[in-house]
Amino acid sequence: MNVFEFLFERAVNSQIAVVLEGEQLTYGEIISLAERTASLLKENGFEPGDRVAILADNSPFWIQAYLGTIYALGIAVPLPSKIQPAQLPALLHWLGCNFVFVRSLNMAAEWTQECGQVVFIEDLSTPRRVRKIPSTGIARHHHPTPALPASARLTALMMTSGSAKDPRAVMISHKNIIANTTSIIEALRLQSDNRVLCIMPLSYCFSTSLLHTHFRTGATVALYSGSFTPGTTLKALAAFECTTLAGTPSVFQWLLRTNSFAKNPVPTLRRIQQAGGRLAPTFIRSLQKAVPEALIHVMYGQTEATARLTALPPELINDKPNSVGLALPGVDIAVLDENGNPCLTGQNGEITASGASIASGYWENEKGTGLRFRKGRLHTGDIGFKDEEGFIYIVDREEDFIKAAGYRFSASLVEDCIHDLPSVVEVAVVGVPHRLLGEASKAYVVVSPRSVLTQNIVKQHCRKTLPHYMAPRQTVIVTELPKNASGKVMKSTLRGLE
């Protein structure tokens, strides 16, 4: 079974699959559009195994392009919709894409002299608007797809949240998606009456997994493509009568610290899915107060694991504070020390995982694959531990630990302390060189509108709460933190400011 067959195996044609402002599509219409898209690709020289890029905002067009590519047995390559035009030609060449679904052909104007024989396909809601960019001598891309057994055939190349200078594309197979989707549905007990608001880019694996899980269960996906604000998000939740809100930490931090949840309750909301980074305990508590009737699913995952690795049962959120839960069905989580040996209960080590949802590696990146995928296990780069019942706790990324005055500590401990200040929305703490300590923490802080919080208040709060070596030696109040297309804070950018 391939992914397309799997997703729509139980579909009822008349049920609503996708809703957005002024429009809705049934499962029958989604399937028909995917089939027509596959035919359009084949009419333009597509061959099974071809890579097909998707460059668009959240829309039925994006879903149609993604599903049509999979239906045609191609490899979908979702790209961030806000990618810089100058980056695209080299990216398409590296990925070997001969086709690009693009929301507007005007976007392609700057690429005509660089992309070679690439077929750009515009908005599929209009009659077949296809433009073949004139060749400039660059031949059709013939990067061979790695030879893999039938069960591991690729269905997508998902870009990670790395830097533009070092992009990585994770090779995701039909088997990976089917395994991960099945596990998430089982762990979260998802059913056909769910309606999730998707506000994160569909090119992000978290969002793509929302499509997979909700289509498989016959549920509904509500699309929102505008810029995120607490107000517009809550309006969309209410307008679409959503039962579920899925988001990264920054989504919930802004909703909570602007009091949006408290002031604008959504009667239909009964589930929260939180992943894409660690949400500080103070926000978890605030979330419980703001939506007391909702089940809060705290999850952990990586693109290299297709999407999710763990989930915390909502009924245990108070008993297991700070935990990201248990391994999903079919996933094995092991915490290993620097020698590759299992850590003792409560002992910090690297989180590793194995199972059918783990990808085979990175596209054309042997070095990166060798570092992260070793001896049949994914090495996540996250440091954490297991408790006596097997629940998993993430401490921090390996590169986000700070060593000051001989002490090594997690930046998240400092961030949690600063988050306790009521008007703080977001915090990023990084290590910077220090003449006496060797390294010291520096905090970049975003505060809520009309806040009177000052650097000195943050400084005094940290000195009262933290050991002296942890307290930030520098605090900067900023209007926003640098983030990637998935909404994750890019600490490497902050370190580069020093």
CA gap 264, 469 in Å, rounded:
41
- Edge to edge, the sheet with strand 130-132 lists 130-132, 119-121, 97-102, 51-55, 75-78, 154-159, 169-173
CB 209 within 8 A of CB 161: no
Residue 189 CB partners (closer than 8 Å, separation 6+)? none
**Structure token pair of residue 175:** 């088997």
**Extended beta strands in 387-435, E state:** 392-397, 401-404, 407-410, 424-434
The CA distances from residue 167 to 94, 454, 483, in Å, are 10, 37, 15
Structural domains present in the chain = 1-312 (3.40.50.12780), 405-495 (3.30.300.30)
Amino acid residing at 352: T
| pLDDT tens, the chain, 498 aa long | 799 999 999 999 999 999 998 889 999 999 999 999 999 888 888 999 999 999 888 989 899 999 999 999 999 999 987 777 777 888 888 898 888 888 765 555 555 555 555 676 765 554 344 444 333 322 334 445 555 555 568 999 999 865 445 779 999 999 999 999 999 999 999 999 999 999 999 999 999 999 999 999 999 999 988 778 888 999 999 999 999 999 999 999 999 988 788 788 899 999 999 999 889 999 999 999 999 999 999 999 999 999 999 999 999 999 998 999 999 999 999 999 999 999 999 999 999 999 999 999 999 999 999 999 999 999 999 999 999 999 999 998 888 889 988 888 999 999 999 999 999 999 999 999 888 888 999 999 999 888 889 999 999 999 999 999 999 999 999 999 998 877 788 888 888 775
The length of the chain, given as a count of residues? 498
CA gap 4, 71 in Å, rounded:
6
The CA distances from residue 115 to 143, 201, 449, in Å, are 15, 24, 44
CB 473 within 8 A of CB 459: no
CA gap 190, 217 in Å, rounded:
7
CB 358 within 8 A of CB 305: yes
Q: What is the pTM of this model?
A: 0.89
